[in-house]
């Protein structure tokens, strides 16, 4: 598994992360097998959130790995906070309480990365900065980031932070390419030219903020997988053609497409199937040519200007 530097930090991690959102209701033995498969194939980064399974995903993870100081260093653990029932909450009190809850459920005394989960328009950046300072000084959190934020939201937050944002987790896949579309259709009066994200891709590259791609196999907003979906025959034909030529499964090609971008995007794979995860990890053995990347992009229904 290839490694990437996360943001402008000393954190060096696998280019694929295991997303743990769906493990809450899995048998402990299956979760342990999934995590072992991840480790065996070079994945050392594990993505959580306080709301995944209502907190149970963190508990199940800790139980599955028999979390204790001797095994803790095997894992780079990331969790998120800020989403509450019916509203968002970036208050100092909630951030501190949320981290304490995650630490308790994960049975660890520190989190490698804490992300703010979705923007809170009522955010007071000074209050967030104070919470981050407390967490960092206490050793509870080592690095910080955000999820689903645009450049100006990150600029506002970073103005007050001593410990700058190193990650922005964004939805990105072959079928969710808004941050790329606008950059390819500059100066055009067509739908793909609309810049909805404030050039977030270029901003993150300029500021050394690692983009993490969530839902790499989904189209729309959790509308379902696009792979093996009869709604997208041309796309799947092209992906399967390239997968066959390279001797990998189609999900590996979907990840390879993301990793081919020079932004050095880290992909969050949320599969709970150990065999599929092993096959996805074969992406480190292959690479897409420029021509193949654009063939897949066009097969997804995109037109180049």
C-alpha span between 145 and 135 (Å, rounded): 13
d(C-alpha 198, C-alpha 193), whole Å: 12
**97-128 CB burial, b ≥16 within 10 A, e <16:** ebbeebbebbbbeebbbbbbbebbeebeeebb
Beta-bridge partner residues of 143: 113
Which of these, 216, 186, 196, lies nearest to 150 by C-alpha position?
Answer: 196
- CA dist., res. 304 & res. 272, Å (int): 36
Name the active-site residue from 52, 203, 219, 297: 52
Q: Could you give the residue ranges of the DSSP H alpha helices within 138-249?
A: 151-158, 178-184, 200-206, 233-246
Provide CB contacts within 8 A for 132, sequence distance 6+: 95, 114, 141, 144, 161, 162, 163
219 carries an active-site annotation: no
For the chain, the maximum distance between any two Cα atoms, rounded to a whole number of angstroms, is 58
Closest C-alpha among 214, 219, 213 to residue 235: 219
The distance of Cα 60 from the centroid of its chain, to the nearest Å, equals 20
**Which residues are catalytic, by number?**
52
């Amino acid at each position: 598994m290839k490694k990437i530097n996360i943001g402008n930090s000393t954190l060096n991690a696998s280019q694929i992360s295991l997303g743990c959102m769906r493990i809450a209701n899995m048998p402990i033995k299956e979760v342990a097998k999934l995590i072992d498969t991840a480790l065996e194939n070079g994945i050392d980064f594990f993505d959580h959130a306080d709301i995944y399974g209502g907190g149970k995903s963190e508990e199940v993870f800790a139980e599955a790995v028999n979390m204790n100081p001797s095994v803790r260093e095997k894992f780079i653990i990331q969790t998120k906070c800020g989403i509450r029932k019916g509203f968002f909450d970036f208050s100092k009190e909630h951030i501190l309480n949320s981290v304490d809850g995650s630490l308790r459920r994960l049975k660890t005394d520190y989190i490698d990365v804490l992300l703010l989960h979705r923007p809170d328009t009522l955010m007071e950046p000074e209050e967030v900065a104070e919470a981050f300072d407390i967490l960092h000084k206490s050793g509870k959190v080592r690095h910080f980031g955000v999820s689903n934020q645009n450049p100006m939201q990150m600029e506002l937050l970073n103005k007050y932070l001593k410990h700058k944002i190193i990650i922005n987790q964004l939805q990105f896949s072959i079928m969710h390419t808004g941050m790329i579309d606008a950059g390819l259709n500059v100066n055009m009066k067509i739908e793909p030219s609309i810049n909805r994200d404030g050039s977030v891709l270029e901003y993150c590259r300029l500021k050394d903020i690692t983009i993490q791609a969530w839902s790499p196999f989904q189209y729309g907003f959790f509308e379902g997988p696009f792979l093996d979906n009869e709604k997208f025959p041309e796309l799947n034909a092209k992906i399967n053609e390239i997968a066959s030529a390279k001797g990998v499964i189609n999900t590996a090609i979907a990840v390879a497409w993301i990793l081919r971008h020079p932004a050095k995007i880290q992909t969050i794979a949320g599969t709970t199937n150990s065999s599929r995860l092993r096959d996805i990890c074969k992406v480190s053995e292959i690479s897409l040519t420029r021509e193949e990347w654009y063939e897949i992009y066009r097969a997804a229904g995109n037109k180049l200007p």
